[in-house]
Structure 1
């Protein structure tokens, strides 16, 4: 899920949620009354999903944040393969079946016939989805000389690049209209699971060709066309994103007619709206609200261990954070026990590895982070560090950290106890993303990651490999021994052998401490009791089976 990452944090000031009260009331009115004029027909079913952050765009391959993934990759697009509802088992999607060569380097996908691309006011497809669309969707991300490699200023294919796909995929070839072959340069154990991730979404080549011919390439990002169950109708930036059911959807027809993503950056306000019936669903409600939600008779709470990690990234390219003894000392100054109680309300497990324990590959033998302020002070003195000052960059709110300001203040206090001055730098989500990738950044950047496919590589490879330094490796950690382990694990299909390699990789991360680990947050959702068919999904958001009484 960077959706997050999937990168996860928060956006906007707390006051914005209050200013949207009138908007939500209007949405409820429109969907409950305005569309039900014809009493001879069943009233349209509409769902309001209250979320914290607006999508950055709708060409999901350009982004790594959770919110864009939910609003585009999960609503509008589909991939060759998919994850089974509620899990990470690979099942057919736009490909009905596939073959893998004995050496693991050749994947042949047999496409589903009769899959229609969405009809919108700006595009009417003349043909069904075929191999040309698959080839276009993948090769545009790897062909640096192609017309779609860079079509908007400053863009990059963040997941594709950070997962080292340009070096993994050798060629994507159309064998016939409904058969596509992907040749790899080497065996890649997680490849099939990778193809279920949002960056591998299948777009319409016919639509892209039309945009290129009319000089409107940018519309590919803001006026999407996919094969999914819902069609984007309007995007009122930072306020609401609206969808309608796709009447030409090839799968089981959605039970909902309309869906609204209402953008409310304050988690407490989202919960208030849910209790008042102005929201139907809230994902990852603030942990301090969980007790009250469990007790609310009109609310249903879903909970399970999550593939979620919150952390702060050091900038290892900037002294003195390039010294491991300095990072160790600063991390040692942090009182995680207090943070667990005050910030996470005892609802989350404090992290000792960057890989959550809910999946395979977790190294439980790695020691928990040590808390020893006096030892930390002496380590800084021995490293020759004096009068150290740096920033703790955060957003006003977040999905994995409900109160970033309070957390930053606690860190600030902990660092002060060892003679270090930390400044709290509160910025908007887009600015935090920029800062997190800026090698001139001084200090910590609040980050989070929601797993995309259940494979350890999605955490350990994505967040810490040398190849991801320009995308989601926000600590700028690059270690040759670590990369060798990650590469060996990717090329080995044996789970036990891969597990041992990942154990060793986690030991290196423990020694090097490129990040300040926070917590593994649970996967949670709160919804009105008249909502049926919604299930917690460890790697996505699926409304295609949801109904409303």
Structure 2
């Protein structure tokens, strides 16, 4: 935000929302839209763990379980991080910055499926249900289907939100316990996708609450039809979608293809029209194919190696410094990223405001690293388990190769690393549980706010979620909390720069690299955009 004050920024946002509302007023449709009879096949890289967005944190899940089926009160514009009205036409903020009142869109329909036929349109009850389920451990649906909500808790929203109230059928009031500068940005994230309270009530009465994770119902552009694990997900275009002319294909099929080389072959044979995450070594052949467009942009991401500080000897900061100093990041960028990236020094990418370009991290120095290990009491090194990602992600195109290179680097200082891995869903689950020693993972920004990096990945409230280092350091956490509750961006930047200096001193994880993101499409695909937040979205995409 260019404005320094949150309230000024939100008032501007509200004015913009009002203007956009006039444009979107026509989006309240009273009859089914005609959708072009086109099929788009997307070669995705992995299977979703489920279809309940509030439970998950990965792009694999969100591409499949959020953007086709659901909407949120506010949303990120396609291909960017600007927040625009979603299921809320506009919103107001109280003078003290603690009360947000959302005015909901009329005429929005929940999807009709083989397992649910709505009897009413979207209203305030659905918003209240969605958030009460995450807020209240005693909420009946949550008790019937008890699951964790990692994003909601990692960002401290369970403590921030005091209440969510229905003012009238189309007005909802959120009351916060304190000012939260990134609150609107946070509400645009995937976990905040609005569920149908009527559908949830149907499941609850039938004793099938867990079905919400297998059979989704939302207000989004595509209707879920079927999922064959590790094979395909099928969607139909939603003729009743509240944004007319946004749904431009009648069939959307996810062809789950875990091998990047196979994805490349499929798109070259037109077996899919969009693919994700080509291998760096396949870029040249894709560029030379006359039937393929190769979209590319700098990634808003970070690949890193988390040290579980609850496991000895990783609780020793000198050990972490030695391990970091022994990793040849430039060699990794050349071999793993094939040069399509840059070595990382910070816990956020250079395109994130408040990034400290003057931050000093220890340089690659194996001799000094070995001496530091000896000083820490490990002259002969030690043994450690190094976890390697099983899937290709934008921040890490080859987890196995990266692990092998780190394994080789550490062997030079006497550290013997055994590489282990699991299927992606299990990998993340075990990482949340803290089973790992050193853990390769990464992050693509969710909302354009620094808190999404420092708070979500390193905050004390996130140690059972995306803080895979299990690192809770009060001086750092205090700065993150101050940043959340301060509305002046210049002051927030100062807090975050101080936090980055503490990070560089303590090294709870080793930043490895920021990558360039590529997304190939066949040339008959129109208006596909690379999403800086790391997902693939098909609203607005058409076929020749």
* TM-score over 0.5 for the pair: yes
Counterpart pick for 2:227 among 222, 231, 235: 235
Q: CA deviation at 1:166?
A: 1.1
Cα 1:42/1:73, change in 2 over 3 Å: closer
Aligned residues: 507
Give the corresponding residue for 1:292.
285
**2:543 pairs with 1:548:** yes
- Residue 395 of structure 1, CA deviation: 3.1
Q: 2:305 aligns with which of 303, 312, 322?
A: 312
1:391–1:422 Cα contact (<8 Å) kept: yes
Structure 1 counterpart SS, 2:141: coil
CA 1:43–1:202: 2 relative to 1, 3 Å: closer
* CA-to-aligned-CA distance 1:279-298 (integer Å, 9 cap, x gap): 11112322222232222211
Q: Distance in 2 between matches of 1:525 and 1:416?
A: 36
Match of 1:31 in 2: none
**In structure 1, what is the equivalent of residue 415 of structure 2?**
420
Separation of aligned partners in 1, 2:232 and 2:401: 28
**1:505 to 1:457, Cα distance in 2 relative to 1, 3 A:** same
Structure 2 residue 216 is the aligned partner of structure 1 residue 224: yes
Pairing partner for 1:117 from 110, 113, 122? 110
2:6 corresponds to: none
2:462 to 465, 468, 481: 468
Whole-angstrom distance in 1 between the partners of 2:278 and 2:46: 13
Quick one: which of 78, 89, 101 aligns to 1:85?
78
Instruction: Give a deviation string over 1:352-390, Cα, whole Å, max 9, x none.
Output: 111111121111111244111111111111111244001
State the 1:462 CA deviation: 0.2
Q: Is the 8 A contact 2:35 2:237 kept in 1?
A: no
Runs of 4+ in 1 over 4 A off after TM superposition: none
Q: SS of the counterpart of 2:209? A: coil
Is the 2:36–2:248 Cα contact (8 Å) retained in structure 1? no
RMSD between aligned residues? 1.4
2: distance between equivalents of 1:373 and 1:222? Answer: 49
SS of corresponding position for 2:239: coil
1:480 paired with 2:497, answer: no
How many Å separate the matches in 2 of 1:124 and 1:435?
37
**Change beyond 3 A, Cα 1:42–1:504:** closer
Post-superposition shift, 1:150? 4.4
Take 2:328 and 2:237, find their aligned partners in 1: how far apart are those partners?
49
What is the CA–CA distance in structure 2 between the aligned matches of 1:490 and 1:291, rounded to whole Å?
A: 44
Q: Which residue of 1 aligns with 2:516?
A: 522
Residue 352 of structure 1 pairs with residue 348 of structure 2: no
Change (3 A) 1:440 1:452: closer
Query: Could you list the per-position Cα deviations for residues 510-548 of structure 1 after superposition, in whole angstroms to 9, with x for gaps in the alignment?
Result: 111111221111232110011002112212432111111
Q: Which one of 380, 383, 386 corresponds to residue 376 of structure 2?
A: 383
Give the 3-state SS of the residue equivalent to 1:414 in structure 2.
helix
Secondary structure of the residue that 2:483 maps to in structure 1? helix
Candidates 431, 450, 454, aligned match of 2:448: 454
Deviation at 1:307, TM superposition (A): 1.4
Match of 1:538, SS state, is coil
Structure 1, unaligned runs of 5 or more: 1-40
- Pick the aligned partner of 2:271 from 270, 278, 302: 278
- Supply the distance in 1 between the matched residues of 2:363 and 2:487 (Cα, whole angstroms): 35
1:59 matched to 2:52? The reply is yes
| 2:354 pairs with 1:365 | no
Contact map agreement 1:313 1:515 (CA 8 A) in 2: yes
1:418 Cα deviation from its structure 2 partner: 0.6
Contact 2:45 2:276 in 1 (8 A): no
- TM normalised by structure 2 equals 0.91
Offset at residue 308 of structure 1 (A): 1.2
CA distance in 1: counterparts of 2:218 and 2:412, whole angstroms: 54
Aligned pairs (5 A) from 1:8-23: none
Structure 2: give runs of 5+ residues left out of the alignment.
Answer: 1-33
Counterpart Cα distance in 2 of 1:74 and 1:303: 21
- Cα 1:510–1:170 change in 2 (3 A) is same
The structural deviation recorded for 1:394 is 1.3
Deviations 1:453-501 (A, max 9, x none): 1111111110000000011100001011111111111111111111111
Deviation at 1:86, TM superposition (A): 1.7
1:396 to 384, 390, 397: 390
Cross-structure match for 2:505: 511
Shift, 1:148, TM fit: 2.4
Q: Give, in whole Å, the separation in 1 of the partners of 2:63 and 2:143.
A: 23
Tell me what 1:16 maps to: none
- Whole-Å separation in 1 of the counterparts to 2:496 and 2:109: 41
